[in-house]
Amino acid sequence: MQFKDYYDTLGVEATAGEAEIKTAYRRLARKFHPDVSKEKGAEERFKAINEAYEVLRDKEKRAEYDRLKAQGYRPGEDFRPPPGFGQGGPGNGGFHYQQDFGQGGGFSDFFESLFGGGRGPGRAQPQPAGDVRAKLAIPLELAYTGGKQRINVDGRTLEVNVPAGIAPGQVIRLAGQGHRGPGRSSDLLLEVDYRPHAEFEVDGRNILYTLPLAPWQAALGATVSVLTLGGAVELRVPPDSDTGRKLRLRGRGLPGKPAAGDQIVEIEVRAPRAETDAQKALYRQMAEAFEFDPGRA
């Protein structure tokens, strides 16, 4: 098993903040998403990007990883977790987690040795007088529709009923499925979290989405197809739109009471590269026609 440099995978420095890490993840996830990417090895790269983000977005996981990396491990080196690594460390507050159930598979042996599969930090600690707690990471699509998700616990396959609109931090209780001992069985309490998504961010019950537009679409207006958790919908972009403008798709967020959230679509104008002489000539014509200084816009 080889040591992985998660910062290098996302192309950020070890000092990067949450916003920089999130931006790097979204950019790379869009580039290498298997459904749209034509890059060689896109699927494996996409899995590696998701794995790196899963660690670096989580303060506790990132702190554990940073402590390990500080011991001098280098990418590609043979690696075995030090004895007792990550167990009983600071910040757990007595709330012990087994693996993040429902990650969807695809994580490397390196990740599993540290954070999952019962082989590294975060292994569930049965509490003699209480229940067993674990995290359940679900895709946003499941939080939107609700449905069933299967997890494996100590060799048992359990089916979890996930209600539509469930929020991070809410707990699903599986009666009698926790620690099993003489005379009684405790419950398994699954604290819900959302898996990172390549296209969406979550703000309460609202879904945030960045819509890339060509300059002419933004300037002249257009009707474009926009991805939502419930499928693609048509959105009218008004003329004279600019980067940062926000449009609202009402009711297209996560379900909830008294009403579902909205999807907030933020426009990002992207200029195509001028690769031919004709394209470069068009840009020169635009420069002469507009006399535009973006610094003073």
Q: Tell me the percentage of the chain whose pLDDT exceeds 90.
A: 43
Q: At what angle do helices 42-56 and 59-69 cross, to 10 degrees?
A: 100
Q: What is the pLDDT of residue 271?
A: 92
Q: ∠ at Cα 199 (197, 202), nearest 5°? A: 65
pLDDT, tens digit, for every residue of 227-261?
999 999 999 999 999 999 999 999 999 998 889 99
pLDDT, tens digit, for every residue of 93-112?
333 344 456 544 457 888 87
Q: Is the pLDDT of residue 211 over 70?
A: yes
Q: ∠ at Cα 222 (221, 228), nearest 5°? A: 125
Q: Is the pLDDT of residue 262 over 90?
A: yes
Domains annotated on the chain, with CATH = 1-82 (1.10.287.110), 96-196 (2.60.260.20), 200-273 (2.60.260.20)
Q: Tell me the percentage of the chain whose pLDDT exceeds 70.
A: 85
pLDDT, tens digit, for every residue of 155-189?
788 899 999 999 998 999 998 888 766 666 788 89
